[in-house]
Structure 1
Amino acid sequence: MIPDQPDLYAALRQSGVAPQDLPQLLASAAPQVAQRLAPIDKGLLAAILRAGAGGPAIPQAAEIIAYLRRTPPTPLFHPDPASARLLALPTTGQHPDMPAFSDPAFDPWFAACHVDYGIGLYGENRTVYATPQFADTASPERRTIHLGIDVFAPAGTPVFAPYAGRVHVLAYNADPLDYGHTLILEHRAGDVPFFTLYGHLGGSLPRLLSSGATVRAGQHIADLGDWPENGGWAPHLHFQIITDMLEQTGGNFFGVGHASLWDIWQDISPDPNLILHLPDSAIPR
């Protein structure tokens, strides 16, 4: 029995329940607990139970990460950000004069930096997400930890596929400060599928790709979107690796996670620098 406490994620992790017993756990939960857990992604709940039992949250994550470490990708941009002029863009005060990414004043500020790309950080705790939009019924904690790497560049900059695969999802997420035009590709690490997500794209996306289409490594797959087609942000790419789509079937996969579940979210969406290969100077820890 799961106690009706404020943080049900912590209660699940501590419950000792096996992930295969999740349906029975939900069916036998007290009504108020069942009601709070009902809207939560069941794949995420199963991952929490696996971690609570001492196993990997996502069983295939280690195999996918090993594949990415040994398999060179095609660069996502030309020139390749790995060897270009970069500026790390942490949101925790290192650039006191930097406007918010959702402020149109960011564009002239960034242009004046005279770099090829700006880099928004993976694993960064971003206070912009501490709003009801990033809350859920299982916990009072907001999802504030960034699960992707942001690459800032001018609107219209082409994006290229890092690996061969197929189009898993094409979507337009229209809510303010959402992904805007969004693409998810499915790839293979041997027999194991994994996914890459591209958010904040331009309106050219539906003309470049169609659902289920085959994609080759290095193919032009998208362009960076401008305001407001990209969700209302300065032009950039939100790039994310996904080892398990959980129960998400649309194009609005979690782009931020809970700090208290960071070990689990790292299994679900490992560091995108496994593909981008950015230098340490661009990704301060």
Structure 2
Amino acid sequence: MTLSSFEEFLKSLQAHPLIHPEISRNTYMSLDLSNHNKELDSIDVSSSKALEAYIWNHLKSNNARVAFGGYLEHRGIYNRSDYFNTAKPEEERNIHLGLDLWIEAGTEISAPLVGKIHSFNNNTNYGDYGPTIILEHCIDNLKFFTLYGHLSLESIRNLKVGVEVKQGDPIATLGTAEVNGDYAPHLHFQIIRDIQNYNGDYPGVSNQLDLDFYKTNCPDPNLLLKLAQ
């Protein structure tokens, strides 16, 4: 299937909200964490506490409860970690491949679609996902995957690969900075067409050299979530 056909397929699906629908879509607010956001010039984005304060102030000033965005953003927040950095600038990973939902730790996350547990892991590199779950979906004979990063440790306890998940089932809660890779609490949500040989992990940030591949393999999650039209 071509990328454009897969994108149309995603648009056609009716996804259950990742966050409980009692939180109205009217209280969602877009958030720009790219290098183009000059407000971040005065924020120590290497500090999870400073970034969290900036995000909560953004929500409060806009009378919002959830901040979202980030697909293909070129971000400076990864500069703090050797996990993303390299001696060669062109190989530095700083282009975000998922969509983030910023909300309080402990928030329950639901499965947007029917699927099953593909894999899970606690990815403990500094700045990594922390606890992570990957779901496998097969809809209309089309298989693809969704990734949920920055979860709580409780989210991956007692999980079993292959367990079926119904649309709307609670699958996880969000973790604190102490366990989620040292970020303000949020969900990293990513769609993956070909999981390759990964288990419990998949690159969520790309360098410029590999971007064309990842843009094809990881299309815009908002095609499914429809948070911004």
Q: Same fold (TM over 0.5)?
A: yes
SS in 2 for 1:64: helix
The runs of 5 or more residues in structure 2 that have no matched partner are none
Bigger Cα displacement from structure 2, 90-99 vs 257-266: 90-99
Question: Does 2:98 align with 1:148?
Answer: yes
State the alpha-carbon separation in 1 of the partners of residues 161 and 87 from structure 2.
Answer: 33
Map of 1:256 onto structure 2? 205
Map of 1:89 onto structure 2? 32
Question: Does 2:174 align with 1:224?
Answer: yes
Map of 1:108 onto structure 2? 53
State the alpha-carbon separation in 2 of the partners of residues 279 and 245 from structure 1.
Answer: 26
Distance 1:219 1:98, change over 3 A: farther
Kindly indicate whether the alpha-carbon contact (under 8 Å) linking 2:191 and 2:218 is maintained by their aligned counterparts in 1: yes
Deviations 1:75-109 (A, max 9, x none): 11124574323141323234345552742123333
Bigger Cα displacement from structure 2, 61-70 vs 113-122: 61-70
State the alpha-carbon separation in 2 of the partners of residues 98 and 153 from structure 1.
Answer: 19
Letter in 2 for 1:263: D
Letter in 1 for 2:19: F
State the alpha-carbon separation in 2 of the partners of residues 166 and 194 from structure 1.
Answer: 11
SS in 2 for 1:66: helix
Kindly indicate whether the alpha-carbon contact (under 8 Å) linking 2:31 and 2:68 is maintained by their aligned counterparts in 1: yes
Residue number among 69, 73, 76 corresponding to 1:124 in the alignment: 73
Bigger Cα displacement from structure 2, 138-147 vs 153-162: 138-147
Residue number among 131, 155, 160 corresponding to 1:210 in the alignment: 160
Kindly indicate whether the alpha-carbon contact (under 8 Å) linking 1:64 and 1:194 is maintained by their aligned counterparts in 2: no
Map of 1:73 onto structure 2? 15
Map of 1:272 onto structure 2? 221
Question: Does 2:9 align with 1:64?
Answer: no
Kindly indicate whether the alpha-carbon contact (under 8 Å) linking 2:90 and 2:209 is maintained by their aligned counterparts in 1: no
Distance 1:74 1:178, change over 3 A: same
More strand by share: 2
State the alpha-carbon separation in 1 of the partners of residues 46 and 116 from structure 2.
Answer: 30
Bigger Cα displacement from structure 2, 257-266 vs 155-164: 257-266
TM-fit CA distance, 1:219: 0.4
State the alpha-carbon separation in 1 of the partners of residues 181 and 96 from structure 2.
Answer: 16
Kindly indicate whether the alpha-carbon contact (under 8 Å) linking 2:120 and 2:201 is maintained by their aligned counterparts in 1: no
Share of identical aligned residues, percent? 34
- RMSD value over aligned CA atoms? 2.5
TM-score by length of 1: 0.69
Deviations 1:164-192 (A, max 9, x none): 00000111011111100000000013212
TM-fit CA distance, 1:260: 3.6
Residue number among 169, 176, 184 corresponding to 2:119 in the alignment: 169
Letter in 2 for 1:67: F
Map of 1:184 onto structure 2? 134
Kindly indicate whether the alpha-carbon contact (under 8 Å) linking 1:82 and 1:276 is maintained by their aligned counterparts in 2: no
Letter in 1 for 2:70: L
Kindly indicate whether the alpha-carbon contact (under 8 Å) linking 2:46 and 2:77 is maintained by their aligned counterparts in 1: no
The runs of 5 or more residues in structure 1 that have no matched partner are 1-58, 281-285
Aligned residues: 221
